[in-house]
A and B are shown apart, each in its own frame.
Chain A
Amino acid sequence: EAGVAQSPRYKIIEKRQSVAFWCNPISGHATLYWYQQILGQGPKLLIQFQNNGVVDDSQLPKDRFSAERLKGVDSTLKIQPAKLEDSAVYLCASSLDRAEQYFGPGTRLTVT
Chain B
Amino acid sequence: AQRVTQPEKLLSVFKGAPVELKCNYSYSGSPELFWYVQYSRQRLQLLLRHISRESIKGFTADLNKGETSFHLKKPFAQEEDSAMYYCALRGQGAQKLVFGQGTRLTINP
* Total of A-B residue pairs, C-beta within 8 Å: 41
Please tell me which one of the listed residues B43, B46, B96 contacts residue A48 in the complex, with CB atoms under 8 A apart: B96
Tell me, rounded to whole Å, the shortest Cβ–Cβ distance linking A78 to chain B.
21
Contact assessment for A104 and B43 in the assembled complex, using a CB-CB cutoff below 8 Å? yes
Contact assessment for A42 and B99 in the assembled complex, using a CB-CB cutoff below 8 Å? yes
A61 at the interface (CB under 8 A from B): no
B45 at the interface (CB under 8 A from A): yes
Residues of A within 8 A of B102 (CB): 41-42
A45 at the interface (CB under 8 A from B): yes
Residues A55-112 near B (CB distance < 8 A): 55-56, 91, 95, 97-98, 100-106
Q: How large is the interface on A (under 10, 10 to 19, 20 to 34, 35 or more residues)?
A: 20 to 34
Given known A-B contacts A40-B101, A42-B4, A42-B86, A98 and B95 have beta carbons under 8 A apart: yes
User: In the complex, how many residues of chain B place their beta carbon closer than 8 angstroms to a beta carbon of chain A?
Assistant: 17
Please tell me which one of the listed residues A3, A95, A104, A105 contacts residue B95 in the complex, with CB atoms under 8 A apart: A95
Tell me, rounded to whole Å, the shortest Cβ–Cβ distance linking A24 to chain B.
14
Given known A-B contacts A42-B86, A42-B102, A31 and B95 have beta carbons under 8 A apart: yes
Tell me, rounded to whole Å, the shortest Cβ–Cβ distance linking B38 to chain A.
9
B56 at the interface (CB under 8 A from A): no
For B102, give the chain A residue with the smallest CB separation: A42
Contact assessment for A103 and B44 in the assembled complex, using a CB-CB cutoff below 8 Å? yes
Contact assessment for B97 and A45 in the assembled complex, using a CB-CB cutoff below 8 Å? yes
Residues of B within 8 A of A (CB): 4, 9, 43-46, 86, 88, 90, 95-102
Further 18 A-B residue pairs, CB within 8 A, beyond A42-B102, A44-B99, A105-B43: A3-B43, A31-B95, A40-B9, A41-B102, A42-B86, A42-B88, A42-B100, A48-B95, A55-B95, A91-B44, A97-B95, A98-B90, A101-B46, A101-B97, A103-B43, A103-B45, A104-B43, A106-B43
